[in-house]
Amino acid sequence: MTLYKKLAIQTVIYSIGFIFPRIINYAFLRFFTVFFKREEFSLYTDMYALAFIAIAFLSFGLENTYFRFLYKKNCDKEIVFSTGVITQLLISSFFLIISIHLIKYLSSMAGYHNHPEYFFMFFLIIFFDTICILPMAWLRANDKPLQYSAINIINILIQSFLIIYLFFCYDNVYDKQNCFFFVFKWINSFTDKIGYIFFANMISSLGNLFLILPILLKKVTIKKFNKILAMNMLNYGVPIMLGTIAFSINENLDKILIKRWISDEINGSYSACYKIASFMSLYIRIFRLGIEPFFFKKSKDSDATYFYEEITYIFILFGLIFYVLVCGNVNIFMKFLIDKKYHIAIPIIPIIMMGNLFLGVYTNLSIFYKIIDKPIIGTYISLIGVFITFLFNSIFILISDNSFMIPAWGTLTSYGAMLIVLYIWGKKQFFQFCDKKIRNIIIHFLFALFIVFMIKKKMELSLILQFLYLIIIFFLEKKRLIHLIK
């Protein structure tokens, strides 16, 4: 089996475990946008935006750190895993104790003084999810995509069942003959319908922890905890953590500020359409699941640079195809996935999607500073991105004309600038992209943008333009595509 075929098979299996839960989430997106008012949907997305930043902090970059130390010489795999998990457990436990103690203050500061239970549930979600990070990474590192996917699927099924029960069956639970009567009465006593979603997430996250518990019990022991290794892993991971926090701010600052500076109604529409634009993030994540462990394994080989560059080129090629197909059919996606009252923010979708593609290319190229053990480079570049994001959102706040296009352009500019700086930096130390390959990449980007622009102007020709684009791409990259499937 060729390297590409093995990567493709693993990526397909990972994709099932990753895409299926997202399909379920998008199915619920339709229900949530119909069921909730825009201001209520804003609360739902705002809580996840805040939680995303917290998880970025608590992760301490230990997932990437684990992969890096796993393939270092003279590093015992079991000691690396035990040390990483115990370190993560200590950090997460400290966070949980402190955050619960400060729950009233934190919820009031965020504008949720009437709903501290939201924060309590999210503190538990964050705790459970961070504990699961390294065991899930262990499955990827040990080529167990089936187990990885099965856990993700079971997780979303638990969450889906609870949401369906709480939202669709609550009219009947007051029949005291119903065995679920007391369960629903208890949940309904401390939260509202938005909180039902968070409760379901909390239970599914707890279920995820139980599913990975056999890995923890078999592979993690205190005897294998190494203090010196833990310090080395933290030293390596902290810059990655800072970069992840910067990414989280880039990704969520716009939604957090629109809610607090403009209105929940505008933020509801913006956040809903942002989720459609996040289709590109699905593509990026699927690609990373199969490829990232390979990147670290390949780092010792003499031909590593060639493979990194070739895989990055392929990533860009398929990413642009995905971009054209989604943007070309965005009205269809919107019709089936989001209620009409949210459609005012549709113009942000092509902008955010292209920004996310830039981020995906950046993520692929960022492997160079992880391999040479200089993750601080990523921190510096991420701070540049955060500065640009703050700049655009500051302009947005100053203008305050309810225009959500400025934060969207800020996302695109931020990720674009980060990609350019990383490429210039990496070219001096690692990359060897030839001029022809760079020229082809630029042509592909311009061609894709031109097709999307033409589709926007002439929607009646959308399918013809998309078909024409695919044919032209096939003939331009015929040799590479044929080599890919051999």
pLDDT at 3: 55
pLDDT in tens, 428-480: 766 666 677 788 888 989 999 998 888 877 777 888 888 898 899 888 887 77
What are 290-330's pLDDT values in tens digits?
565 555 555 555 566 667 777 788 889 989 999 999 998 88
Does residue 139 fall inside a structural domain?
A: yes
Whole-number Å distance between alpha carbons of 101 and 23: 37
Give residue 188's pLDDT: 78
Q: Is 135 helix (H, G, I), strand (E, B) or coil?
A: helix
Residue 324 within any structural domain of the chain = yes
Residue 423 pLDDT class (50, 70, 90 cuts): confident
- Give the pLDDT score at 126: 93
Contact between 351 and 404 under an 8 Å Cβ cutoff? The reply is no
Mean pLDDT of 34-55: 89
Q: Is residue 102 part of a domain?
A: yes
Structure token digits, residue 86? 């115990």
Contact call for residues 55 and 128 (beta carbons, < 8 A): no
* Predicted confidence (pLDDT) at residue 186 exceeds the cutoff of 90: no
Examine residue 299 and state whether it is found in any structural domain, yes or no. yes
**For residue 334, is pLDDT > 90?**
no
Q: What does DSSP assign to residue 61?
A: T
How far is Cα of residue 446 from the mean position of the Cα atoms in its chain? Answer: 26
**pTM, to two decimals:** 0.82
Q: Which pLDDT belongs to residue 97?
A: 94
Q: Is the dihedral of CA 133, 134, 139, 140 positive or negative?
A: positive
Going by pLDDT thresholds of 50, 70 and 90, the confidence category of residue 131 is very high
CB proximity list for 458: less than 8 A, separation 6 or greater: 465
Query: Of residues 162 and 295, which shows the higher confidence score?
Result: 162
Residue 73: pLDDT band (50, 70, 90) is low
360 pLDDT more than 60: yes
Look up the domain containing 189 and give its range: 3-433
For the CA atoms of 233, 234, 237, 241, what is the dihedral angle to 10 degrees? 160
Span 90-112, mean pLDDT?
Answer: 91
Answer yes or no: is 121 within a domain: yes
> Which range has the top average pLDDT, 1-5, 255-259, 392-396, 414-418?
414-418
What local confidence, expressed as pLDDT, does residue 59 receive? 81
**Total tally of structural domains belonging to the chain:** 1
Residue 42 burial (CB count, 10 A): 24
User: What is the rounded average pLDDT for all residues in the chain?
Assistant: 83
Q: What pLDDT score does 87 carry?
A: 92
Chain mean position to CA 207 = 21
Residue 169 has pLDDT above 70, yes or no: no
- The closest of 215, 224, 237, 211 to 58, measured between CA atoms, is 237
Does residue 180 register a pLDDT over 70? Answer: no
Question: Tell me, what's the pLDDT at 298?
Answer: 56
Q: Which residue has the higher pLDDT, 179 or 34?
A: 34
Residue 466 belongs to some domain of the structure: no
**Does the pLDDT at position 176 exceed 60?**
no
Given a cut of 80, whether residue 387 has pLDDT beyond it is yes
- Whole-number pLDDT of residue 90: 93
Which of 52-66, 113-127, 429-443, 465-479 is least confident?
429-443
Residue 457 located in a structural domain: no
Average pLDDT of the residues in 17-39: 85
pLDDT band of residue 158 (cuts 50, 70, 90) is very high
Q: What is the pLDDT of residue 364?
A: 81
Residue 472 domain-assigned (yes or no): no
CB of 385 within 8 A of CB of 418? yes
- Name the pLDDT band for 332 (thresholds 50, 70, 90): confident
Alpha-carbon distance of 365 to 39, in angstroms, equals 39
